[in-house]
Structure 1
Amino acid sequence: MTALPIHRHEPERVPRNARGIADALTPEAGKEFYAELLAAQPDEAKGVLLRWWGRAMLETDPGRQRRVEAALGGTLATVAVQDMLDRRRAAGLPVE
């Protein structure tokens, strides 16, 4: 079974490589990212890239400000964890 994102970005907003991630971050965050990546052991580098890619995707999300305001204002739509797990099971997706 392969895992695919629910909402694909074509083309991806942030390329999944060090340069793409750094370019999407603020200059300060980019320096922090590169410092962490360079300090990582080889077996840790993939985790560093994935974590920072997620942050870069969040920071470049066109609807970010609206979602932040909704979350802070208490109007962000939410879903119960059990409902989300039930939906994933029904779709044949992993829930571990």
Structure 2
Amino acid sequence: MSTSAQPVHKHSAERPRVPRTIGAISNALRGARRAQFFAELLEAQQGPELDGVLTAWWGRAMLDTDPHRDRVHAAAEAGTLPTTTMDAIARRRQERTTS
């Protein structure tokens, strides 16, 4: 089985599926995760701490809105999700930059 670190779905870098805004992130989160997001958001201080909360929860929101989320989760649970090593990723990146 071939492994790849490439995204399964292509999205424009200019227009992500979930914009990095508080409103968009909260709208994308499922169930109780939205309450967790707001709890962390309200406790974070402006600056790097707040940026870290937004970045972490934006990633979770992107996963929650992935149209193939359930299939990927099932494959991960079953142990059939393709994986790769960091060495393989670095090698492929190097090959792309030199070709």
* Identity over aligned pairs, percent: 44
Deviating 4+ runs (over 3 angstroms):
none
Q: 2:11 maps to which residue?
A: 8
Judge which range, 68-77 or 16-25, deviates more.
68-77
Q: 2:21 maps to which residue?
A: 17
Deviation at 1:28, TM superposition (A): 1.9
Which residues of structure 2 form unaligned runs of 5+? Answer: 1-5
Distance 1:53 1:79 in 2: 24
Distance 2:30 2:73 in 1: 18
Distance 1:26 1:49 in 2: 16
Q: 1:72 maps to which residue?
A: 77
Retained in 1: the 8 A contact 2:29–2:61? yes
Q: 2:3 maps to which residue?
A: none
Deviation at 1:17, TM superposition (A): 0.3
Secondary structure at the counterpart of residue 32 of structure 2: helix
Q: 1:41 maps to which residue?
A: 45
> Could you tell me which of 78, 86, 91 is aligned with 1:86?
91
Q: 1:61 maps to which residue?
A: 66
Q: TM-score, normalised by structure 1?
A: 0.77
Deviation at 1:27, TM superposition (A): 4.1
CA RMSD of aligned residues (A): 2.1
Q: How many residues align?
A: 88
